[in-house]
Structure 1
Amino acid sequence: MRRIIVLLFVSVVSLIDVVLTTVFYCQGRKFHQTFKGAFFRYSFTSSVFDLWILCVLRCSVSLGLVLGILLGREIGINRVKSTRTISVFLAGICVMFTLIKLLSVSEHSQLLNNVWFWSLFTWTLVSSVLLVLQWRILGNITVVEPPVLKINCDGDPAESEALLGDKKEENKLEKDKDKKKSDAKSTILRLFSFSKPDWMFISAGFLFLTLSATGEIFIPFYTGKVVDGIVIDKSQKEFTKAIIVMALISVGSAITAGLRGGCMFMANRRLNLRIRNALFSSIVNQEVGFFDTVQTGDITSRLTSDTTTMSDTLGLNVNIFLRSLIKALGVLFFMFKLSWRLTVVTFIGLPCMLAVSKIYGKYYKKLSEEVQDSLASANNVAEEACSTMRTVRSFANEKGEIQRYADKLAVTYKLNKKQALMYSGFVWSNMLFELALTVSVLYYGGHLVIDGALTGGTLISFILYQIQLGDCVDSMGYVYTGLMQAAGASEKVFEYIDRKPQINHQGNLAPDDIQGHIEFKDVCFSYPSRPDVPVLKNISFTVNPGEVIALVGPSGGGKTSCVNLLEYFYTPQSGQVLLDNMSIQLYDHHYLHKQVSLVGQEPVLYARSIEENIRYGLHENEWSDKLIKEAAEMANAHSFITELKDGYKTQTGEKGVQMSGGQKQRIAIARALLRKPRVLLLDEATSALDAESEYLVQQALYKSLSGRTVIIIAHRLSTVERADRIIVIDKGEVIEQGTHKQLLGLKGIYTNLVKRQLLLSDNAWSKDGPNSPGKESGQLTVPQECSCYRRHRSSNRHPSGRISSRHASGNSVLSEEDGTGRENVTFIVGSI
């Protein structure tokens, strides 16, 4: 029904167009006499019969579109929709022809005094615009097709389904395209809304801009006065007066232009900072899973280049647009005042220039988005290489990284070449149109001067105004492309700003005291970056307050994932993680991470002093120099810190690069202990320490664990054997639980892990191997006291001359005599 109404509406408008044009052409009477012999008596300068023919052509196009839609249905509508640009082109031709007709008719003043002529002229311009609207209305018709049968004529339902799927996909792409256009417009409007707090600077800048542009408008006018005073009036008083006025206007324009620039610059800088703060605030508040899927280089690219492009392009283009618009309005006023005929000549070339700007802007926006994406990709490579320079150097892959970065920049360079070609074509076409327009004005203006309709000074003023108008139109054309560039850069920025974190730290539970009871109840979990890979499968275990629990198992079994869930970095797909019988989601974000502290295997230090790293995240009333020192002593870090030149003020470098691995771990342990947490999570927290430092740190930790719940993830036997309970996790499931001795008695996974670590045990180095006769197959002989805290060391000589020395810290040492009295020593680091 709606389609029929639209088609009827377009047909009625076309009919009205024919009727009104005919009435105006015939001057409301004697229709048959007016058309009789009109073709044979036709004269371009005195007849308006061609305007009636133009109307017939317009209506034929409209009715042809209606007929095509009736016959072709959806195909016809899609063709109309895809050829909207042609309607603008046809309307532009109609407008240009009508203006040219007005100039030719103006040579006969009797027609200009005829109201019917002006009615026909005005209606022709209006109907040309209506042609574009009719075309767009027809292209927006939605056709409701009858349901497609599941079974086609050949009895194959799959083919019918495929056809239906293709149509749905086409409709989806079309909708996405339209949505993208509307999003670009809304993005620009939103950019303007970000500038609302700067309304004082913008208002002042707009005032000074108006004064400056108005002053510049009068310069060509008084230039013509100077020429007339010298050439025509030959009066020194007249041209001197004109020069003085020009000088005063120029000085005033210069002053106001400077003030305008300062105000707009301040508004632009404030906008840039506001966008950066909004973007960084949104990024920092995203869940940890967001950073698992988005590369750091992409984020830094949005924070740097994209935000700068947004604010600078917006500020610059708004400034240019307002100044150009004000100047263009003033210039048009003076141009009409000086000569309306020359103004009409100028208007004839405007549709061509606007069409070029629109086409160029549309393509340039697409290129701008591709350039921003390619730069973000290149930044990812650079950021990754710079942040892992030690790995790059250790594998001697400097050339490889350089080549990767060069390849990414090569893609950007190809896009830049396209931009350069588009820019060159845009400038070339604009300059050609301007040249043609200038030649036309000069030729027609010279004709008017010869006829006495203009003075020489007036023609010079008009030409100067025309040059200014051309500059204004060019500037506004650049504004459009610039705004499209800003829209392309800001889409991703606003996408990040608008993104809602999937994990909201909205909890407000903050009890005065917390016991530290932890419970995992049927927890299933997969990482957001790998949703199809289950990491934890219905895992359940309990940690009592003050208990020391060790999580062990093969790598990738899910141990660190348990810690990540307890830190509320992620949320499980099902099940609950409870702290004191309350879901961790209910706790206040700051309270939770003060009560639960984590020391990771690769702790991160910031490019600050050691003291600042230890007290990171704490308010001034939550730390003191004494407390920092005590925490460092408990972490066995105070001794090496005091040996440094600047002590606690020593800078650690970016990501702690100036510290060794063991020093970073001890600083991180001190950072965790300073908070006096009720729950302490140690994820391979001493893996980078030597045996002596590990022994001292562990002694200090166990002294400070009174009343704390501790979860330890470690591979070293020395780290886990003193735990109150050991939980073995493999493939996301709890396999075994118990003390060290209990688990050894089970002869299960834990026993095998210990066996691998103590590879050089007596049984391992027996002459006939572990499965030799007289011994139970798979039996493991473990010393009764296997503790690094007793610093136990047992040695056995193998018949081959090798000496097996096992440190209870979990590191095995194999020394071999080579018959020369020297020992070749090989260190084997075992793990469980």
Structure 2
Amino acid sequence: MNSLKYLNKYLLKYKWRLGLGIIFVAISNVFAIYPPQIIREAFDQVARFISKEEVVNNGDMPWIAAFTKDMDLTKSLIFFAVLVMVMALLKGLFTFFTRQTIIIMSRLIEFDLKNEVYAHYQELSMPFYKRNNTGDIMNRISEDVSRTRNYLGPGIMYSINLVTLFIFVISVMLSINVKLTLYALAPLPVLSVLIYYVSNVINKKSEAVQAQLSNLSTLAQETFSGIRILKSFVKEDYANQALDKAATTYKEKNLDLVKTEALFMPIMTLLIGLSTIFTIYIGSKIYIEAVEAGVPPPISPGNIAEFVIYVNMLTWPVTALGWVTSLVQRAAASQRRINEFLETKPEIVSGTTPLQNMKGEIEFKNVGFVYPDSGTKALDGINFQVSPGETLAIIGRTGSGKSTIADLVCRLYDPTSGSVYMDGINLKELDLNALRGNTGYVPQEVFLFSDNIANNIAFGYSEEMPPFEKIERAAKDAAIYDNIMDFPKQFETILGERGITLSGGQKQRISIARAIIKKPKLMIFDDCLSAVDTETEEKILSSLDRIGKQSTCIIISHRVSSVKNANKIIVLDEGRIAEEGTHNQLIEAKGLYFDIYERQLLEDQKTALN
């Protein structure tokens, strides 16, 4: 239960609903207590009628006796039947009120908890998402939260019902006959011990089931996301076999859990049945022995019937105890998984210094970076400065650390050594939202939402939808406008998941439009022109040159044609700056940049000849 303590803050938040629910449970059980007493009176009246003798009636209800004293037996029994129905209706009414308070409370808490988990996901840093797969992340906010809700709703409701009903029923039973009560309740201690041991087994098996469900969700998600690759390599059968294997493991773990629960429930029912047998046997024996001894019986036949009803009234709550135990154990396993993520602290914490009138001056001072999970050294001793309004180009071989610089500027990571400054202020001290709000970033891996083209472009603007003219202008600047107008629904065209309905170049250009629509003070383009032709590249670079006069621009590329017009070019090699200067200066130096330039020039000539 330790993991479930986290939910106490929500129970406190909805304490009025919970309090009303407890009151309604108590009232509904009060109306559940009276029908057995009414039935007892009916039995005793029938016994009086048959024996023509006075029958001892422990705990008579005077108001019923007074009301029925002048009635004949038939009218009395009809009156008792109507009274039992009225009590049942009143119990049902307050049971309805119970569900309207406690069950709705659990739904409200489920809503709050999902929002809290989702908001926390937004705060966590990039390493978290590299360490955890998407299926597991999704499963904890969906399946795990739903299981937790079962504890907050049915679990709490039936537990309160069990406690209040036990208090009422056992109090009445003890007031009638202590000996008969003790015999009737004799199997319950055995039941308690059984629940204690079985619940531990259920808990362990529940955790195994949830962990395997996460694996299954991850596999399915990856299969659907990579369906193009699967079909290209004719791996449908392989994917089916992998999913079947994971699903079979999940089924086996689930069946293992269900078998434990299936064995648990019949044993509980058996023990409750023994209580009924003990009640009838011991009650009858006490009554017969008193009659044979010629003394007034301490209980009447009606009391025995009353005890049987009370014992059966306890059957469902006690049986539900096993079910509730299973719910609580599953919820505890799920909440432990949720807490594991909620207790994860973001590695990138926002500073408090506001960023007002951002200019876009960037400076790297002896920056080094090692990826925390892989231990790969990406950057070592990087020093450079970019003035406001300048364009910095970064070029180098694959794996030289180009994208890492972009990640550090956006503060998706913090440098392992050294510092990064924006307008002379260390990025760690700056308000993170203000920094990223003034940055237009086009990552190497383009991501588009399953929405229309207009909304995908407008996503980079602000919280509000921009005027349509701005969306059109951004599309034209990104050289994607003509392509969009060729679509039947133009800007209203719905894109498939991750923009799968577009070509690679079209996706890149929509991402560029999204980054430049708000004309940010800092623009970062991470190899985002790799899928476009030379002519389109020239159009985009020309637009960026015009837009970027008031913005600092970082262009990361492996193509010289994309970087040649930059104010400053940095050539990276194995995480270090190998060369630095303008295009002409680097060509004259005849170093690494010159080698890249000549090689690409030769490739372009071969392409032209072909």
Taking the TM superposition and a 5 Å limit, the aligned residue runs for 1:392-411 are 392-411=230-249
The corresponding residue for 2:49 is 233
The corresponding residue for 2:210 is 372
Taking the TM superposition and a 5 Å limit, the aligned residue runs for 1:342-421 are 342-421=180-259
Taking the TM superposition and a 5 Å limit, the aligned residue runs for 1:177-188 are 185-188=1-4
Deviation at 1:703, TM superposition (A): 2.6
The corresponding residue for 2:525 is 682
The corresponding residue for 2:69 is none
Seq. identity, %: 27
| Counterpart residue type for residue 514 of structure 2 | R
1:379-422 Cα shifts (integer Å, max 9, x gaps): 11111111222122222222222222222222222212221221
The corresponding residue for 1:552 is 395
User: Quick one: which of 477, 486, 508 aligns to 2:331?
Assistant: 486
What is the alpha-carbon distance in structure 2 between the residues aligned to residue 618 and residue 346 of structure 1? Answer: 72
Deviation at 1:238, TM superposition (A): 3.6
CA contact (8 A) 1:209 1:257 kept: yes
Deviation at 1:293, TM superposition (A): 1.0
Distance 1:622 1:322, change over 3 A: closer
User: Quick one: which of 337, 343, 367 aligns to 1:498?
Assistant: 343
The corresponding residue for 1:174 is none
Deviation at 1:620, TM superposition (A): 5.9
CA contact (8 A) 2:586 2:594 kept: yes
What is the alpha-carbon distance in structure 1 between the residues aligned to residue 517 and residue 272 of structure 2? Answer: 73
The corresponding residue for 1:813 is 607
Taking the TM superposition and a 5 Å limit, the aligned residue runs for 1:110-125 are none
The corresponding residue for 1:443 is 281
The corresponding residue for 1:119 is none
What is the alpha-carbon distance in structure 2 between the residues aligned to residue 255 and residue 603 of structure 1? Answer: 57
CA contact (8 A) 2:185 2:275 kept: no
Q: Which blocks of at least 5 consecutive residues in structure 1 are unaligned?
A: 1-184, 761-805, 816-824, 826-832
Q: Which blocks of at least 5 consecutive residues in structure 2 are unaligned?
A: 51-72, 291-296
* TM-score (ref. length: structure 2): 0.90
Give SS of 2:476's match: helix
CA contact (8 A) 2:410 2:436 kept: yes
What is the alpha-carbon distance in structure 2 between the residues aligned to residue 471 and residue 679 of structure 1? Answer: 66
User: Quick one: which of 15, 39, 42 aligns to 1:223?
Assistant: 39
CA contact (8 A) 2:362 2:385 kept: yes
What is the alpha-carbon distance in structure 1 between the residues aligned to residue 282 and residue 92 of structure 2? Answer: 35
User: Quick one: which of 570, 585, 592 aligns to 2:413?
Assistant: 570
Give SS of 1:308's match: helix
The corresponding residue for 1:579 is 422
Deviation at 1:577, TM superposition (A): 0.8
CA contact (8 A) 1:226 1:243 kept: no
Give SS of 1:283's match: helix
Taking the TM superposition and a 5 Å limit, the aligned residue runs for 1:771-782 are none
Deviation at 1:489, TM superposition (A): 0.6
The answer to whether residue 585 in structure 2 is matched with residue 716 in structure 1 is: no
Once the two structures are overlaid, the 10-residue window that deviates more, 548-557 or 333-342, is 333-342
The corresponding residue for 1:634 is 477
The answer to whether residue 125 in structure 2 is matched with residue 282 in structure 1 is: no
What is the alpha-carbon distance in structure 2 between the residues aligned to residue 252 and residue 594 of structure 1? Answer: 59
CA contact (8 A) 1:727 1:736 kept: yes
What is the alpha-carbon distance in structure 2 between the residues aligned to residue 571 and residue 632 of structure 1? Answer: 33
1:680-704 Cα shifts (integer Å, max 9, x gaps): 2111111111233222222222232
1:463-503 Cα shifts (integer Å, max 9, x gaps): 12112223322223332332121111111112222332111
Larger Rg: 1
Give SS of 1:813's match: helix
Give SS of 2:450's match: coil
What is the alpha-carbon distance in structure 2 between the residues aligned to residue 360 and residue 332 of structure 1? Answer: 26
Distance 1:579 1:506, change over 3 A: closer
1:181-238 Cα shifts (integer Å, max 9, x gaps): xxxx332233233122323332332222222122112222222222222233353344
What is the alpha-carbon distance in structure 2 between the residues aligned to residue 312 and residue 505 of structure 1? Answer: 36
Taking the TM superposition and a 5 Å limit, the aligned residue runs for 1:690-701 are 690-701=533-544
The corresponding residue for 2:166 is 328
Deviation at 1:438, TM superposition (A): 3.0
C-alpha RMSD of the superposition: 2.0
What is the alpha-carbon distance in structure 2 between the residues aligned to residue 553 and residue 700 of structure 1? Answer: 24
Give SS of 2:548's match: coil
Give SS of 1:551's match: strand
Give SS of 2:186's match: helix
Deviation at 1:282, TM superposition (A): 0.6
The corresponding residue for 1:516 is 360
Taking the TM superposition and a 5 Å limit, the aligned residue runs for 1:732-743 are 732-743=575-586
| Counterpart residue type for residue 476 of structure 1 | L
The corresponding residue for 1:758 is 601
Give SS of 1:195's match: helix
* TM-score (ref. length: structure 1): 0.67
Taking the TM superposition and a 5 Å limit, the aligned residue runs for 1:654-693 are 654-693=497-536
What is the alpha-carbon distance in structure 2 between the residues aligned to residue 287 and residue 414 of structure 1? Answer: 36
1:591-614 Cα shifts (integer Å, max 9, x gaps): 212322111233211122222222
| Counterpart residue type for residue 330 of structure 2 | Q
| Counterpart residue type for residue 304 of structure 1 | S
CA contact (8 A) 1:601 1:687 kept: no
| Counterpart residue type for residue 719 of structure 1 | S
Give SS of 2:549's match: coil
What is the alpha-carbon distance in structure 2 between the residues aligned to residue 314 and residue 199 of structure 1? Answer: 12
How many residues of Structure 1 are paired with residues of Structure 2 in the alignment?
Answer: 581
